């Protein structure tokens, strides 16, 4: 997950550089794969000095600018006819680079005039929302310099790898919370004004017919909304995280998803029939045209959000084309819900769909966060979409979420880890994870709702150890009861054979267990030889590797072929490996040995003539 | 016997001596004339039958021949031996000998062998398991239920009969624990399969799994064993680092890095500028796994670890393309004699 450090800093007082933050997360269990400056990933975006501006008559709406980049002069065509003047220093994206919005820049030619790049507006450069002017730099900037470095603009991003058990870290706020746990730096708690909860009469009803699939559904209506371009800070942050901006309503749902980890969905309320939102199982073979333009057939195992007539959304995964928010939408219904992780995953696998939304539901979202996300979204919609009316919040909360009560015996903690952590430290760590009670013998913790990865005492042992620091765990050597087993006979035997063959001058090879069935055909086995009937792979990595080998010979032959094509003139090879045959359960595996001799037996020398291997060489080795 | 007989004998002896070319020839002459049934011996014996005058004359002639023969044999022996010595130095010692050609074991076999020995010394026994596995042994018994996102971490090959190719050697833990009662210590090498292919990933590769279950196995013991392993395999000055991680079948889980052998921890392309190379995952066996095999988690504790053999071989031998192991080019294989 990509996290801009500047966004993270809104929720926690960051006291270190990006590289150090990466190390803290990595040593805490969330591996940071990369730390980079987003603006430096766009490519060659440099300052150029405008030397001349010409308007040839053949070019109707374009002018030809001659610019200098500190090394060479070249021409750039632009439609910003009234904005370019000699003497300016402008931002130019060179061929091979991209704009902030992923548009690739190439060399262009119009009527014989070449354009070696494109001038960028501040918007296209990702600097500000101004689209109608060109990005100009101060005149003292050297031509050829990177524009962002010249303007002192950088955006450090951490690419954090979140393990599947930490769904609570799939958001900026979640990572800030985790960072606070690891370092002790103060976290800015989420605070929302009470007035955000007020509103008018809800415009419809919400029913949950499948409580196993969804036990909490929060909804709110916004009327007279102005769908428009999002404010620039939202656009920037979506782009930093790899998402495309669409319009303010959709962007706000994505922004809250990235910020708080709660997926939201916005409906065009006028496209919802009967004023009813129903959370139910799909009817077997019910059809839905999805946002990606594909119509799919649903199963009764799928959870959908439907209106009085039909399914509108595959819950938690992707919305339908018809009920989505478009530029003409004026009435919005916003959903924030908790969907069953297992059901969402199975549906995703069934339809082969993975989205930012389904990814988070599969890894469990916070039942309490569902409501908070609605407040945050309200805040943003009020500011940036100017609704005329907002309803109160409808919170259908069927079964209150109760976290488990975990008991960890103090003795077990130290026996498990192998040393004593001072009790104050243990209490300090556990206190941050939920409600802690301590008796003389045990720690009792009821974890916070967002830590659904904590359910057994061993989970707490891991938390304590990793926050305290694995480096502080001492090193000991295990104690155990000595016992002795007979070594596997096959192992000793195969080792002996390997050593013997190596001593005879053979080289061991290891080839793939999957082969091309055509190669077996070439070996001309008799029609009822079981080796002719290999086990097929359902999802082979390639057509040439689609069955499990029944003989080691094709692999050796391919190896010989590979070597001979590279001028190796003498080969003595062997392989010890398994071959596979069909069986009632799983497969029948046999360990086989195969030898191959090819080419020259020996180089001509003073004691021997050159000669090729023959059948008797192999016979000799086999007898030995 | 007459004087002529004696003269004939002398002539015969002289001829034989002249013709003698080898030590064997000399020995036959010795036996023929001087042996128990030799001619000279017989002649000397038969002197008894002669009159006294002849006895003395022939006797002294025969004894003279005997002495001369013994002397001549010695001289001739020396001559022959010297001639043989000369013959040896006629050989050209600068010529190459007939070198027997040595083959070699595959580098992955060598690494597996080395690692298994390390653990066998500590009393770990080698265990094996089938490469074609069931969903139960490969996932479910290891606390990875069917719908769990952790399955995304390992792209699985499926067979036409519904079985799968094991994606890790961890199923061997389950099979062993079902077959035996604790305490136990196993080290289990084997081929594993994942749908993945590029410079660092091969659809088939090798892993080694370790498992120790006993009544008092601790997290600190796991650290100790892994450090022992790293230092014995990579050198006693190897620095290691432990990071928390996640596996559904261990809790707590960790990953171990060694300081990058290329840049010594300073940061380079191989270690992505971090200075560390990840070599294995490990952790304390999850109680759910114990329950799946019928071990009482309140009595038994265990640790498990899994390492990628190719990765370790690539680090140890400075190989940067995993496909070299399976191309089996002879020049590559010859470097491991």
Domain check: are A33 and A172 in the same one?
Answer: yes
Of the ranges A464-478, A533-547, B9-23, B289-303, which one carries the lowest mean pLDDT score?
Answer: B9-23
Domain count, chain A: 5
Provide mean pLDDT across the span B235-257. Answer: 93
**Residue A514 near chain B (CB below 8 Å):** yes
- In chain B, residues with a C-beta closer than 8 Å to the C-beta of A461 are 251-252
Domain check: are A524 and A498 in the same one?
Answer: yes
- In chain A, residues with a C-beta closer than 8 Å to the C-beta of B160 are 535-538
Query: Of A347, A376, A397, which marks where a domain is finished?
Result: A397
Domain check: are B75 and B187 in the same one?
Answer: no
Residues 550-579 of chain A with CB under 8 A from chain B are: 559, 562-563, 566, 568, 571-573, 578
What was the pLDDT predicted at A150? 95
Domain check: are A509 and A445 in the same one?
Answer: no
Residue B176: inside a domain: yes
Residue A550: inside a domain: yes
Per-residue pLDDT at B95 exceeds 80:
no
Provide mean pLDDT across the span A457-481. Answer: 92
**Measured between alpha carbons, how far is A4 from B292 in angstroms, rounded to an integer?**
43
Name which of A341, A545, A587 is nearest B132 (Cβ-Cβ): A587
Contact (CB, 8 A) for A50 and A167: no
Domain check: are B12 and B126 in the same one?
Answer: no
Angle (deg, nearest 10), helices B3-19 and B39-46: 160
Beta strands in A432-551 (DSSP E): 434-438, 442-447, 507-508, 514-515, 547-548
Query: Of B37, B58, B89, which marks where a domain is finished?
Result: B89
Residues present in chain B in total: 337
Q: How many CB atoms lie within 10 A of CB A579?
A: 21
Q: pLDDT digit string (tens) for A489-528?
A: 778 888 888 999 899 889 999 999 999 999 888 888 888 8
Q: For position B127, which CATH number holds?
A: 3.30.930.10
Domain check: are B160 and B261 in the same one?
Answer: yes
Domain check: are A35 and A49 in the same one?
Answer: no
pLDDT class for B88, splitting at 50, 70, 90? low
Domain check: are A523 and A600 in the same one?
Answer: yes
DSSP structural state of residue A186: P
How do strand A287-289 and strand A295-297 relate by DSSP bridges? Answer: antiparallel
- In chain A, residues with a C-beta closer than 8 Å to the C-beta of B161 are 535, 582, 587
**Measured between alpha carbons, how far is A57 from A61 in angstroms, rounded to an integer?**
10
Helix (H/G/I), strand (E/B), else coil: B270: coil
Name which of B104, B128, B245 is nearest A488 (Cβ-Cβ): B128
Handedness of CA A567, A573, A576, A577 (dihedral sign): positive
DSSP structural state of residue B203: S
Residue A357 host element (H or E): helix A356-362
Residue B207: inside a domain: yes
Query: Of B89, B123, B148, which marks where a domain is finished?
Result: B89
Domain check: are B198 and B291 in the same one?
Answer: yes
Domain check: are A211 and A266 in the same one?
Answer: yes
Q: For position A366, which CATH number holds?
A: 3.50.40.10
Domain check: are B274 and B326 in the same one?
Answer: yes
**Residue A28 near chain B (CB below 8 Å):** yes
Per-residue pLDDT at A53 exceeds 80:
yes
pLDDT class for B90, splitting at 50, 70, 90? low
CA distances (Å), origin A368, targets A207, A278, B97: 19, 21, 83
Domain check: are B213 and B286 in the same one?
Answer: yes
Domain check: are B159 and B50 in the same one?
Answer: no
Domain check: are B175 and B322 in the same one?
Answer: yes
Domain check: are A250 and A301 in the same one?
Answer: yes
- Which residue range(s) make up the domain with B241? 108-334
**Measured between alpha carbons, how far is A482 from A176 in angstroms, rounded to an integer?**
48
What was the pLDDT predicted at B230? 94
Angle (deg, nearest 10), helices A410-417 and A457-468: 60
Residues 360-399 of chain A with CB under 8 A from chain B are: 362-363
Angle (deg, nearest 10), helices B3-19 and B52-89: 10
Contact B159 A506 (CB under 8 A): no
Domain check: are B64 and B127 in the same one?
Answer: no
B259-283 burial code (b ≥16 CB/10 A, e <16): bbbbeebeeeeebeebbbbbbbbbb
Of the ranges A10-14, B283-287, B333-337, which one carries the lowest mean pLDDT score?
Answer: B333-337
Helix (H/G/I), strand (E/B), else coil: A461: helix
Residue A321: inside a domain: yes
Residue A454: inside a domain: yes
Q: How many CB atoms lie within 10 A of CB B42?
A: 13
Domain check: are B79 and B123 in the same one?
Answer: no
Q: For position A508, which CATH number holds?
A: 3.30.930.10
Contact (CB, 8 A) for B71 and B77: no
A270-292 burial code (b ≥16 CB/10 A, e <16): ebbeeeebbbbbbeeebebebee
Token pair for residue B326?
């399976």
What was the pLDDT predicted at A376? 97
Mutation for testing the B interface, residue in A586, A602, A621 having most B CBs under 10 Å: A586
Residue B96: inside a domain: no
**Residue A609 near chain B (CB below 8 Å):** no
**Measured between alpha carbons, how far is A300 from A583 in angstroms, rounded to an integer?**
35
Provide mean pLDDT across the span A370-392. Answer: 96
DSSP structural state of residue B274: S
Contact B221 A476 (CB under 8 A): yes
Per-residue pLDDT at A599 exceeds 80:
no
Query: Of B47, B62, B89, which marks where a domain is finished?
Result: B89
Q: pLDDT digit string (tens) for B148-199?
A: 887 877 789 999 999 999 999 999 999 999 999 999 999 999 999 999 888 7
Mutation for testing the B interface, residue in A18, A345, A412, A418 having most B CBs under 10 Å: A418
Residues 399-438 of chain A with CB under 8 A from chain B are: 415-419
Residue A484: inside a domain: no
**Measured between alpha carbons, how far is B295 from B298 in angstroms, rounded to an integer?**
9
- Which residue range(s) make up the domain with A618? 489-623
Concatenated DSSP letters of B19-37: H--SHHHHHHHIIIIISTT
DSSP structural state of residue A107: -
**Residue A590 near chain B (CB below 8 Å):** no
Residue A214: inside a domain: yes
Contact B246 A163 (CB under 8 A): yes
Residue A269: inside a domain: yes
What was the pLDDT predicted at A603? 58
Domain count, chain B: 2
For the stretch A254-259, contacts whose Cβ atoms lie closer than 8 Å and that sit 24 or more positions apart, written own/partner, are: A254/A356, A255/A380, A256/A373, A256/A376, A256/A377, A256/A380, A257/A171, A257/A356, A257/A357, A257/A360, A258/A171, A258/A172, A258/A356, A259/A7, A259/A171, A259/A172, A259/A173, A259/A376
Q: In chain B, which residue's Cα lies nearest the Cα of A474?
A: B220
Name which of B108, B147, B159 is nearest A510 (Cβ-Cβ): B108
CA distances (Å), origin B145, targets B150, B194, B226, B293: 9, 18, 29, 15
What was the pLDDT predicted at A605? 54
Name which of B197, B204, B224 is nearest A478 (Cβ-Cβ): B224
Residue B95: inside a domain: no
Contact B185 A480 (CB under 8 A): yes
Residue A150: inside a domain: no
What would you report as the CA-atom Rg of chain B, rounded to the nearest whole angstrom? 40
Name which of A27, A341, A475 is nearest B224 (Cβ-Cβ): A475
**Residue A470 near chain B (CB below 8 Å):** yes
Name which of A164, A456, A470 is nearest B287 (Cβ-Cβ): A456
Residue A481: inside a domain: no
- Identify the CA nearest to B157 among candidates B208, B198, B207, B191: B191
The mean predicted confidence, pLDDT, of chain A is 92
Concatenated DSSP letters of A371-411: HHHHHHHHHHHHHHT--SEEBPPEEEE-S------EEEEHH
- Identify the CA nearest to A608 among candidates B107, B287, B96: B96
What was the pLDDT predicted at B73? 86
Compute the nearest-CA separation of B38 from chain A (Å).
46
Residue B102: inside a domain: no
Mutation for testing the A interface, residue in B107, B111, B152, B252 having most A CBs under 10 Å: B252
Q: For position A166, which CATH number holds?
A: 3.30.56.10
Q: pLDDT digit string (tens) for B104-159?
A: 999 999 999 999 999 999 889 999 999 999 999 999 999 998 888 878 777 899 99
Residue B73: inside a domain: yes
Q: pLDDT digit string (tens) for A298-311?
A: 999 999 999 999 99
- In chain B, residues with a C-beta closer than 8 Å to the C-beta of A578 are 131, 191
Domain check: are A411 and A308 in the same one?
Answer: no
Per-residue pLDDT at B26 exceeds 60:
yes
Percentage with pLDDT > 70 across chain B: 96
φ and ψ at A102, to 5 degrees?
70, 10
Domain check: are A271 and A386 in the same one?
Answer: yes
Per-residue pLDDT at A606 exceeds 70:
no
Per-residue pLDDT at B272 exceeds 80:
no
- The predicted complex's ipTM stands at 0.86
Contact B152 A164 (CB under 8 A): yes
- Identify the CA nearest to A561 among candidates A509, A616, A501: A509
Per-residue pLDDT at B33 exceeds 90:
no
Domain check: are A422 and A316 in the same one?
Answer: no
Angle (deg, nearest 10), helices A248-260 and A232-240: 50
**Measured between alpha carbons, how far is A404 from A452 in angstroms, rounded to an integer?**
9
Contact (CB, 8 A) for B188 and B128: yes
Query: Of A397, A429, A459, which marks where a domain is finished?
Result: A397
Domain check: are B131 and B275 in the same one?
Answer: yes
The mean predicted confidence, pLDDT, of chain B is 88
Residues 210-239 of chain A with CB under 8 A from chain B are: none
Compute the nearest-CA separation of B62 from chain A (Å).
53
**Residue A465 near chain B (CB below 8 Å):** yes
Contact A510 B325 (CB under 8 A): yes
Domain check: are A454 and A558 in the same one?
Answer: no
Domain check: are A202 and A322 in the same one?
Answer: yes
Angle (deg, nearest 10), helices B219-234 and B309-317: 40
Q: pLDDT digit string (tens) for A106-155?
A: 999 998 999 999 999 999 999 999 999 999 999 999 999 999 999 999 99
Q: How many CB atoms lie within 10 A of CB B83?
A: 11
**Measured between alpha carbons, how far is A144 from A69 in angstroms, rounded to an integer?**
5
Indicate the pTM of the whole model: 0.83
Q: Is B78 left (phi over 0), alpha (psi -120 to 50) or beta?
A: alpha
φ and ψ at B60, to 5 degrees?
-70, -35
Domain check: are B62 and B195 in the same one?
Answer: no
Per-residue pLDDT at A612 exceeds 60:
no
Mutation for testing the B interface, residue in A164, A540, A544, A569 having most B CBs under 10 Å: A164
């Amino acid at each position: 997950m990509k996290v801009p450090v500047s966004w993270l800093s809104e929720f926690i007082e960051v006291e270190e550089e990006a590289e150090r933050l990466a190390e803290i997360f990595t040593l805490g269990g969330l591996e940071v794969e990369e730390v980079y400056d987003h603006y430096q990933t766009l490519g060659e975006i440099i300052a150029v000095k405008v030397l001349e501006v010409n308007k040839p008559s053949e070019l109707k709406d374009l002018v030809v600018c001659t610019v200098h980049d500190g090394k060479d002069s070249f021409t750039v065509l632009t439609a910003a006819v009234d904005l370019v003047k000699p003497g300016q220093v402008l931002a130019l994206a060179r061929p091979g680079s991209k704009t902030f919005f992923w548009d690739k820049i190439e060399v262009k030619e119009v009527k014989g005039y070449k354009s070696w790049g494109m001038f960028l507006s501040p918007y296209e450069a990702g600097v500000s929302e101004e689209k109608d002017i060109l990005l100009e730099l101060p005149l003292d900037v050297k031509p050829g310099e990177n524009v962002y470095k010249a303007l002192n603009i950088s955006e450090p991003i951490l690419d954090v790898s979140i393990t599947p058990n930490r769904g609570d870290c799939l958001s900026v706020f979640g990572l800030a919370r985790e960072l606070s746990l690891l370092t002790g730096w103060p976290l800015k708690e989420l605070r929302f004004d009470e007035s955000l909860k007020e509103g008018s009469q809800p415009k419809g009803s919400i029913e949950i017919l499948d409580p196993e699939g969804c036990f909490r559904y929060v909804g709110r209506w916004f009327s007279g909304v102005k769908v428009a371009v999002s404010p620039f800070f939202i656009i920037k942050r979506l782009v930093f995280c790899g998402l495309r901006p669409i319009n303010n309503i959709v962007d706000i749902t994505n922004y809250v998803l990235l910020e708080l980890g709660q997926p939201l969905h916005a409906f065009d309320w006028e496209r919802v029939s009967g004023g009813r939102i129903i959370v139910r199982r799909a009817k077997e073979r019910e059809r839905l045209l999805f946002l990606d333009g594909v119509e799919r057939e649903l199963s009764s195992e799928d959870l959908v959000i439907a209106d009085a007539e039909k399914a509108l959304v595959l819950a938690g995964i992707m919305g339908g084309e018809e009920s989505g928010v478009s530029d003409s939408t004026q009435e919005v219904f916003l959903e924030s819900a908790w969907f069953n992780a297992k059901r969402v995953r199975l549906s995703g696998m069934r339809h082969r769909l993975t989205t930012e939304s389904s990814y988070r539901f599969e890894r469990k979202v916070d039942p309490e966060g569902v409501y908070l996300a609605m407040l945050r979204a309200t805040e943003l919609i009020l500011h940036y979409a100017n609704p005329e009316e907002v309803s109160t919040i409808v919170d259908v909360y069927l079964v209150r979420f109760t976290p488990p009560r975990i008991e960890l015996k103090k003795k077990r903690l130290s026996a498990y880890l192998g040393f004593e952590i001072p009790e104050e430290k243990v209490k300090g760590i556990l206190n941050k994870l939920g409600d802690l009670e301590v008796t003389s013998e045990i720690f009792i913790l009821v974890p916070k709702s967002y830590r659904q990865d904590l359910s057994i005492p061993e989970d707490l042992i891991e938390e304590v150890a990793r926050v305290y620091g694995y480096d502080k765990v001492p090193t000991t050597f295990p104690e155990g009861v000595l016992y002795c087993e007979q070594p596997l006979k096959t192992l000793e035997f195969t080792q002996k054979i390997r050593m013997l063959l190596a001593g005879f001058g053979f080289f061991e090879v290891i080839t793939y267990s999957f082969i091309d069935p055509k190669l077996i055909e070439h070996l001309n086995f008799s029609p009822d030889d079981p080796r002719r009937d290999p086990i097929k792979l359902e999802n082979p990595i390639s057509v040439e590797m689609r069955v499990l080998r029944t003989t080691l010979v094709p692999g050796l032959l391919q190896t010989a072929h590979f070597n001979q094509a590279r001028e190796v003139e003498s080969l003595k090879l062997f392989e010890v490996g398994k071959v596979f045959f069909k069986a009632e359960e799983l497969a029948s595996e046999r360990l086989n040995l195969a030898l191959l001799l090819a080419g020259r037996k020996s180089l001509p020398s003073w004691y021997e003539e050159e000669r090729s291997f023959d059948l008797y060489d192999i016979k000799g080795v086999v007898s030995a | 016997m007459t004087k002529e007989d004696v003269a004939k004998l002398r002539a015969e002896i002289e001829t034989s001596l002249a013709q003698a070319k080898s030590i064997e020839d000399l020995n036959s002459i010795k036996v023929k004339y001087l042996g128990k049934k030799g001619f000279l011996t017989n002649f000397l014996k038969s002197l008894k039958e002669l009159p006294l005058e002849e006895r003395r004359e022939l006797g002294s002639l025969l004894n003279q021949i005997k002495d001369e023969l013994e002397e001549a044999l010695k001289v001739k022996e020396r001559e022959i031996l010297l001639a043989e010595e000369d013959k040896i130095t006629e050989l050209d010692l600068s010529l190459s000998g007939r070198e027997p050609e040595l083959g070699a074991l595959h580098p992955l076999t060598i690494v597996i062998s080395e690692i298994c020995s390390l653990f066998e010394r500590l009393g770990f026994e080698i265990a094996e398991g089938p490469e074609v596995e069931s969903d139960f042994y490969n996932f479910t018994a290891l606390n990875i239920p069917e719908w769990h996102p952790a399955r995304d971490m390992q792209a699985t090959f499926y067979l036409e009969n519904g079985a799968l190719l094991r994606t890790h050697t961890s199923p061997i833990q389950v099979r062993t624990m079902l077959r035996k009662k604790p305490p136990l210590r196993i080290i289990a090498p084997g081929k594993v399969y994942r749908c993945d292919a590029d410079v660092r990933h091969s659809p088939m590769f090798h892993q080694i799994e370790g498992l120790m279950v006993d009544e008092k196995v601790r997290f600190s013991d796991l650290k100790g064993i892994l450090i022992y392993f790293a230092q014995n395999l990579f050198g006693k000055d190897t620095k290691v680092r432990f990071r928390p991680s996640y596996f559904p079948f261990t809790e707590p889980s960790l990953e171990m890095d060694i300081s990058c052998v290329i840049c010594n921890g300073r940061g380079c392309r191989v270690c992505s500028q971090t200075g560390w190379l990840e070599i294995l995952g490990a952790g304390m066996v999850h109680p759910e796994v114990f329950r799946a095999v019928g071990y009482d988690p309140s009595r038994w504790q265990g640790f498990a670890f899994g390492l990628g053999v190719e990765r370790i071989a690539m680090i140890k031998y400075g190989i940067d393309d995993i496909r070299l192991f399976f191309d089996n080019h002879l020049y590559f294989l010859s470097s491991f004699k």
